[in-house]
Amino acid sequence: SGSTYNYPWSTLPWFGTDGQADDAKIITPTSTGNLVAQVKLASTVFAATNNTKTQALFSEFASKYPTQTCDSYCLGAYDDVWLGAMATIQTGSNNGTAIQAYLQQYISTYNGSLFGVTGSMSFQASGDRTPTAYLIEKVVIQSGTPKWVNAGTWDYTTDTITWTSVP
């Protein structure tokens, strides 16, 4: 019923990850959602670029899977599978070592000029994808109901947070 608790943990802001952001189970039932809103849980989730490739995938996905949503994980998986398939075709092999070597060579040659459904793709020296931006989501109470809302964005290139609603 919207109780407020006064424990040390209940007055400090909590920070979560993409595994929590927008998760309905975290805010259901309402009593749990009220506690999550009270601790000002802020969680990040990958922010995909909205472009024509993204829109085409959304449209195709919705026509084939009308009860599902293509989220940032779906978009990232699409680009990952595309890169893996391209490397498999180019090497003519399903040998992991050959595919890895091809991808490393491809990335060093074309790094930053790859463009997929998630936007521009570049890679760090470690081979990990360079992050672009993350949405910061938080839980608020709207009309007595807990709800995830956008609180801001973190941008990798400038290493800055732009708040729309500070947690």
Residues 22 and 56 in one domain: no
In a domain, residue 69? The reply is yes
Return the residue matching tokens 């790859």: 114
In a domain, residue 39? The reply is yes
In a domain, residue 128? The reply is no
In a domain, residue 62? The reply is yes
- Tell me how many domains the chain contains: 2
R_g over Cα of the chain: 20
Min mean pLDDT across 22-36, 64-78, 92-106 is at 22-36
Residues 27 and 77 in one domain: no
| Domain extent at residue 69 | 52-121
Of the candidates 23, 18, 2, the residue with the CA atom closest to the CA atom of residue 148: 23
Residues 14 and 27 in one domain: yes
Kindly state the percentage of the chain with pLDDT values over 70.
Answer: 93
Each residue's pLDDT tens digit, 92-141: 999 999 998 998 888 888 877 788 898 888 888 887 888 888 999 999 99
Residues 74 and 43 in one domain: no
CA distance 78 to 71: 11
- pTM of the model as a whole: 0.73
Would you state the pLDDT for residue 18? 81
Question: Which residues, in sequence order, are CB contacts of 128 under 8 Å at separation 6+?
Answer: none
Of the candidates 135, 134, 140, 133, the residue with the CA atom closest to the CA atom of residue 41: 140
In a domain, residue 59? The reply is yes
CA distance 94 to 96: 6
